[in-house]
A = this chain, B = another copy of it.
Amino acid sequence: MEVELSHDITFGDCDPAGIVYYPNAFRWMDAAFHKLLREHGGHASLCEKLCAIGIGLADASVRFRRPMRDGERLTLRIVMFEWSRRSVTVHYEGAVDGAAKFSGREVRCLFIKGEGAIVAGDIEPLRQHLEPKNE
């Protein structure tokens, strides 16, 4: 379940301080997660199979270590999954030329239609797709 996303940081990713505009770090983590999902059919197909509305966010955070700049190639890796009953925490590490730039995490749920509201369903069916148990 290894995923690595490469992104060439461009002028438009940066702000007037000349460094990456920080919300982009979250866009790139989301892109890495969806790259993972695509290896298992993609978000739309997985949601259909799992009768879910979306594999969405309950929480997200990033710790910024060093600024990123136009022209740098970001390598973003998913380094760990932590599964609990109703969510999975995905851990990311972003680096440029081997130097750590940021660490992030997303807490994702399998959102389903409950009684009159959207609720976080059992995450196990998603885990079965992403981490099928060897037998």
Contacts and interface: CB of A to CB of B under 8 A. Distances in A.
Interface stretch (A49-57, A89-97, A127-135): A49-57
B12 A21 contact: yes
A45 to B, nearest CB: 10
Number of copies: 4
A34 B11 contact: yes
Interface string A26-47: 1100110011001000111000
A107 B81 CA distance: 25
B22 A30 contact: yes
Contact of A26 (B10, B18, B26, B34): B26
Contacts of A58: 63-64
B16 A57 contact: no
Given A17-B53, A43-B70, A58-B64, 14 more contacts: A10-B31, A10-B34, A11-B16, A11-B31, A12-B21, A14-B15, A14-B16, A16-B16, A17-B54, A22-B57, A22-B60, A23-B23, A42-B71, A58-B63
Interface of A: 8, 10-12, 14-19, 21-24, 26-27, 30-31, 34-35, 38, 42-44, 53-54, 56-64, 67, 70-71, 118
